[in-house]
Structure 1
Amino acid sequence: MTDLDAIPDDPSALRAALLAMRAELAAERALRRGLEDRNERLQHFIRQLQRMQFGRRSEALDPDQLNLALEDLEQAVAEADAEAEKADPPRREARARERRQNRGTLPGHLPRIEVVIEPPTTICPCCSGAMHIIGEDRSERLDVIPMRWQVIVTRRPKYGCRACGSAVVQAPAPPRLIEGGLPTERLVAHVLVAKYADHAPLYRQAQMLARQGIALDRSTLASWVGTAAAELKPLWRLLRDDLLGSAKLFVDETPAPVLDPGRGRTKTSWFWAIARDDRPWGGADPPAVVFTYAPGRGHAHAATLLKDFRGILQTDAYAAYKAVAGAAGDEAAAGSADGGVLLAHCWAHCRRRFYEVAQKRPAPIAHEALRRIAALYEIEAEIRGRPACERRAVRQARTKPLLDAMRPWLEQCRAQLSKKSPLGEAIGYPLNQWEGLTLFLDDGRIEIDSNVIERSMRPIALNRKNALFAGHDLGAENWAVLASLIETCKWHAVNPEAWLADVLARLVSGWPNRRLAELTPWAWKAEQDALHRAAA
């Protein structure tokens, strides 16, 4: 109950007290809402797990499949916990204490590497005398280097003064990705690369660790992955925004099965990929690929992903991208300063249709179409790597006459065939997309096909094959974030494990957001190359 005697008489003081009380109530309500949302989210996860384990036979899962689902759910929980801990330092410290109490011990046969962190000075602040060690805090974290496991022992000696006995100094503990946990940032990077680059699900990684005498549960690995994803997501957003500001992008989508336990099967969601690769014409922008998870393939998802993009979009003939280009064109026509979206289509998709016809039956027309398309690719092979202006000049002189002759030939062939026959449909494809297929003639920056984005999505397909499906929507989002960063590392010949280890260590040490661009794979590689040159 409020003490009436404590209520100030001065109106200004009373107003200040009321404002302070209002702020406290607002903070409490916000905290309560956050806790209620988190509880509702966790209860949803529990209901899903109960259906998966105890539901009807059609909903029950094989134990290994259940492990795959659990790891994505646990990653989602860890991501939520990591975000909450970053916003609440006392809660972060409390969770660190819990981890220290419950993490167990590391196997004694592993080698120990001791790291001693000394305070800046051991001179007594009271009497300026020399201080001596009176104790230390000792912690162990599991670390990994290729093909060898070791334990990093961090010692922080405490120094006290013999003369006065009142002063104690000790170096502060360094920040960690998993406060109070076992892994170093390098070990977490190893787990991420094994899962998303080498396509080893976490339960298999736990089995590999067990063979080394290291008992780590799959759920523990999943928690590490979720925490790392939360830490790396701002960098993923930076990459995405950087790509959407480009003048030209590749875009495509690929299925991403996600478990839907309420129906006893998976639902088909999608990874939407955008990529930039200007190396074939010597562009200055660094190549990169970004995956975005969406629960569907409808036009709305394409519009959401590309709503801020204006420029050349190279892709297949999927109608969703035509809708994006149409919407952007309407804005441009209405006076928008951003311009529109031009669609450049893919000759590889066109060629594939004729190839499938030629493989199944004798088809002279299909073989002739393949021969004509091959002539286009021969010219492209010659000019790859040249400046955009040179590529355009060669295309105008040599490629344009070939295409000018190809279109009437295709129209003549289609007039002799049923439009619904396989060959008729193959011929109809380039005729219906002719404007997009010939856009590369007038712009040397445009490629003849979108194979760049097709190749970038192969690791997604491999991971999908090994993991069967994602266990939850949030787990699929983590998959998209981490796959984007790892694949971009590969494009720059950067070891993703070394990059992740260093970047995670910098981020947890308080790396400023305004300098996130320095952590992109291409900026990081430039920094490492400069250090190597300086050391040489």
Structure 2
Amino acid sequence: MTQEFTDIDSEELDGLIQRVQEAKEHDLALSPEDCQILLKALKTLAALQERLSDNDITLHKLRKLVGMVRSSETMDTLLGQKGKGSQKRPRPRATKPNTQVKPKITQHKLDDLSKGDRCPECQQGKLYKYEPATLLRITGQSPFVPEQHIMERLRCNACGQYFTAKLPDEVVEDGKPGQKYGYSARSLMALHKFFAGAPYYRQESIQALMGVKLTASSVFDQTELVASSLQPIYTLLLQKAANAVHYYLDDTSNRILDQTPIEKPVRNSDKTRERSGVYSSGLVATLSDGHNIVLYQTNIGHAGEFIDEILSQRNLPLQPLLMSDALSSNRPSLGFEVEHCLCNSHGRRQFAEVLNQFPDEVEQVLNWYGEIWRYDDEARELELNTTQRLAWHKKLSLPMMKKIHSWGKSELTNGSVEENSGLGKAINYFNKHYEGLTAFCRLEGAQLDNNRAEQALKLVARNRKNAMFHKTTKGAHVADVVMAMIATAAEAGVNVLDYFNAVQRRQSEVMANPEQFLPWNYQSDI
């Protein structure tokens, strides 16, 4: 046989396989185009068997002939980019798994016609199978639907033994016997509250509009059960976050109605003082394997105290990178060594806030900063590793930062800008924190801004805007646990609803081995 190999695109082959399966299921004929592709594939298989039997083909040539590698002889292609790949440090994955829910497929049969019947229209031809018509319909319903299951029972009139009809598997898997609210209902309550920002009382009122009685206290009770199921995984995430290689850190004010002032140590001092300010701290920890952990803590305490608690469990000698704004309350204070990087979004904001008063001067600074962010975007698009990215910013971004620094010094020195003016304060902020702001040009893996932490705190801000406060510290802890698991699971790209359901359903396994149920280790069993 002298048949040449045919280069068949993998997408083309996948599509053919799907169409063949559909044709088999619906008893359809393949189109002439599909028959041609199938013929090409069979000829390629036959030719492949012939070449393999001759024992005169290398693995690389075989991969090239069947279209697995490009028909190129460049060094990068031959070496498989080994030089570049070996230098790459773990980093967050650029793409996330597709968690889109597949539609439920329902077959509708013709009741009065079947294959082989005479055509009712012309009374001459016979009917044969044809490609089915399709309709994708997305329906709506109340989030919580009550279902009353009536199970038939029989009883022996001699021994009195009962025989009860079994419930469907989907009902059994959604809760324990006698459990009123299924796992799926509990998960939805938690997601509505801590992701959609629907307070407990609002869930009660909207369900009343739909004719389903659901009290705010019941919603809280069920959400608390979800948090209890997630607690072992949350505790493990706290431990793993202690050994992260990079942290984003920030906090925002919050309220706990029942929280009374407490006596707490003054940072960097042996003294104590009464404190009453409640804050929600948000932390994004990047592990050495590239996975991201998102954590929250709501109490009387700033983000710096939260990172102190995290780092107190650290057992790695390597100093982590810590990205935050320049507030001293965001720095660790218990002797933990970190490479502190400062957020350039905050540095830029100092100038942007006085744009109206100093339009010409500030526009120039914002243009310089715009170039820096453009360079950072290009580095991301080029998928540079940490070493390459650092060299990239040293070459392109550092000169821009130096321009801002020298320009600001010059403006203050020659008296063009008054030191106590808005622009003078912005320049002083930049000059004072210049080393931290340029960390991304000095340290491998250092980031340009703290936007990740601020994005994480949007969950807190959304709930604060809608619910305004937590009533108790217990309720605040429930919020911290559920929001952390929502955000971390979303980072891992899993279906959060299915994940929460599985954790509740397999609670005994979660408690015995929470490592198995980390979002990036979880395998859907739905």
- Length-normalised TM-score, structure 2: 0.62
Q: What pairs with 1:426-505 in structure 2 (closer than 5 Å)?
A: 426-505=426-505
CA offsets, 1:347-384, max 9 Å, x none?
111001100110x3233222222121111111101001
Q: Which residue is 1:327 aligned to?
A: 335
Does the C-alpha gap of structure 1 residues 299 and 443 become closer, same or farther in structure 2, counting only changes over 3 Å? closer
- C-alpha contact 2:227 2:481 (8 A) present in aligned 1: yes
Partner of 1:421: 421
* Aligned counterpart, 2:282: 273
Any residues of structure 2 matched to 1:178-197 within 5 Å, and which? 180-197=178-195
State the Cα distance separating 1:388 from its structure 2 match: 1.1
Structure 2 vs 1, CA of residues 511 and 247 (structure 1 numbering), >3 Å: closer, same or farther?
same
1:200 aligns with 2:209: no
After TM superposition, the structure 1 = structure 2 runs for residues 230-379 of structure 1, keeping only pairs within 5 Å, are: 230-260=228-258, 268-277=277-286, 284-297=289-302, 300-309=305-314, 310-324=319-333, 327-328=335-336, 340-358=337-355, 360-379=356-375
Structure-1 separation of matches of 2:490 and 2:468: 24
Instruction: Select which of 393, 409, 412 maps to 2:410.
Output: 412
More strand by share: 1
Q: 1:214 aligns with which of 193, 212, 215?
A: 212
Preserved contact between residue 177 and residue 227 of structure 1 (Cα < 8 Å): no
Q: 1:448 to 1:341 in 2, by over 3 A?
A: same
Q: Is the contact between residue 194 and residue 200 of structure 1 (CA under 8 Å) also seen in structure 2? A: yes
Q: Write out per-residue CA displacement over residues 161-180 of structure 1, whole angstroms, 9 at most, x where no aligned residue.
A: 98xx5999999997987874
Q: Is the 8 A contact 2:250 2:330 kept in 1?
A: no
Q: Per-residue CA shift, 1:390-436, capped at 9, x if unaligned?
A: 11121222222333333222222233333332111111112111121
CA offset digits 1:246-303 (Å, max 9, x no partner): 111111111112214889xxx641111110358xxxx732122111122233854553
Please list every run of 5 or more consecutive structure 2 residues that lacks an aligned counterpart in the other structure: 1-139, 262-275
d(CA) in 1 for partners of 2:324 and 2:398?
A: 21
Equivalent position to 2:390, from 358, 373, 392 = 392
Contact conserved, 2:510 with 2:517, CA < 8 A, in 1?
A: no
CA distance in 1, matches of 2:221, 2:442: 51
SS at match of 2:255: strand
Q: In 2, distance between residues paired with 1:519 and 1:474?
A: 24
Q: CA deviation at 1:496?
A: 2.1
- Which residue number in structure 2 is paired with residue 83 of structure 1? none
Contact 1:255–1:270 (CA under 8 A) maintained in structure 2:
yes
Alpha-carbon distance in 1 for matches of 2:408, 2:233:
47
SS at match of 1:521: coil
> Structure 1 residues 190, 298: closer, same or farther in 2, change over 3 A?
closer
Aligned equivalent of 1:28:
none
| CA deviation vs aligned residue, 1:154-213 (integer Å, no higher than 9, x gap) | 859799898xx5999999997987874410111100111111111111111112222333
2:424 and 2:176 map into 1 onto residues whose CA distance is: 60
Q: 1:216 to 1:401 in 2, by over 3 A?
A: closer
Is the contact made by 1:271 and 1:293 (CA closer than 8 Å) also made in structure 2?
yes
Q: Given residue 499 of structure 1, which amino acid in structure 2 is its aligned partner?
A: Y
Range 185-194 or range 362-371, more displaced: 362-371
Q: 1:436 aligns to what SS in structure 2? A: helix
What is the CA-CA distance between 1:239 and the residue it aligns to? Answer: 1.6
The CA distance in 2 between the partners of 1:391 and 1:365, in whole Å, is 30
Task: Decide whether aligned partners of structure 1 residues 220 and 409 sit closer, same or farther in structure 2, where only a CA change above 3 A counts.
Answer: same
SS in 2 for 1:365: helix
Q: Which amino acid aligns with 1:258?
A: I
Cα 1:440–1:187, aligned 2, differ >3 Å: closer, same or farther? same
1:270–1:193 CA distance, 2 compared to 1 (3 A): same
What secondary structure does 2:145 align onto? strand
Pick closer, same or farther for the CA change 1:147–1:480 going to 2, 3 Å.
closer
Question: 1: CA distance between counterparts of 2:444 and 2:155?
Answer: 68
What code does the residue aligned with 1:244 have? Answer: A
Structure 2 counterpart of 1:18:
none
Aligned pairs for 1:38-49 within 5 A: none
Task: State the shift of 1:152 in Å.
Answer: 6.4
Give 1:23's aligned residue. Answer: none
2:45 alignment counterpart? none
Is contact 2:418–2:424 with CA below 8 Å preserved after alignment? yes
Show the 5 A alignment for 1:61-140.
none
Q: C-alpha distance in 1, partners of 2:290/2:141?
A: 33
- Structure 1: how far apart are the matches of 2:144 and 2:472? 33
> How has the CA–CA distance of structure 1 residues 269 and 178 changed in structure 2, closer, same or farther, with 3 Å as cutoff?
farther
In 1, are the aligned partners of 2:341 and 2:436 still within 8 Å (CA)?
yes
Amino acid at match of 1:376: I
Which amino acid letter does the alignment assign opposite residue 398 of structure 2? K
CA contact (8 A) 2:144 2:212 kept: no
1:470 CA drift (Å): 0.9
Which structure: larger Rg? 2
1:189–1:300 CA distance, 2 compared to 1 (3 A): closer
Instruction: Classify 1:405/1:189 alpha carbon distance in 2 versus 1 (closer, same or farther; 3 Å).
Output: same
Judge conservation of contact 2:342–2:449 (CA < 8 Å) in 1: yes
Structure (1/2) with the larger helix percentage: 1
Q: Is the 8 A contact 1:357 1:366 kept in 2?
A: yes
C-alpha spacing 1:147/1:296, structure 2 compared with 1 (3 Å): closer
Distance 1:383 1:479, change over 3 A: same
Distance 1:178 1:253 in 2: 39
SS in structure 1 of the partner of residue 313 of structure 2:
coil
Structure 1 pair 323–223 and aligned structure 2 pair: CA distance change class (3 A): closer
* 3-state secondary structure, aligned to 1:276: strand
Structure 2 contact 282–303 (Cα < 8 Å) conserved? no
**Residues 277, 452 of structure 1: 8 Å contact kept:** no
Q: Does structure 1 conserve the Cα–Cα contact (< 8 Å) formed by 2:322 and 2:339?
A: yes
User: What CA deviation, in whole Å up to 9, does each residue of 1:458-486 have, x standing for no partner?
Assistant: 12111110001111121111111111111
Q: Following TM superposition, by how much is the alpha carbon of 1:345 offset from its aligned partner in structure 2, in angstroms?
A: 0.6
Q: Which residue of 2 aligns with 1:89?
A: none
Q: 1:155 to 1:169 in 2, by over 3 A?
A: closer
Q: Which runs of 5+ in 1 are unaligned?
A: 1-143, 329-339
Deviation at 1:453, TM superposition (A): 0.9
Looking at structure 2, the residues matched to 193 and 311 of structure 1 have their Cα atoms a distance apart, in angstroms, of 32
1:70-125 deviations in whole A, cap 9, x for unaligned?
xxxxxxxxxxxxxxxxxxxxxxxxxxxxxxxxxxxxxxxxxxxxxxxxxxxxxxxx
Query: What's the Cα RMSD here?
Result: 3.3
Verify the 8 A CA contact 2:305 2:332 in the aligned structure 1: no
Q: Secondary structure at the match of 1:151?
A: coil
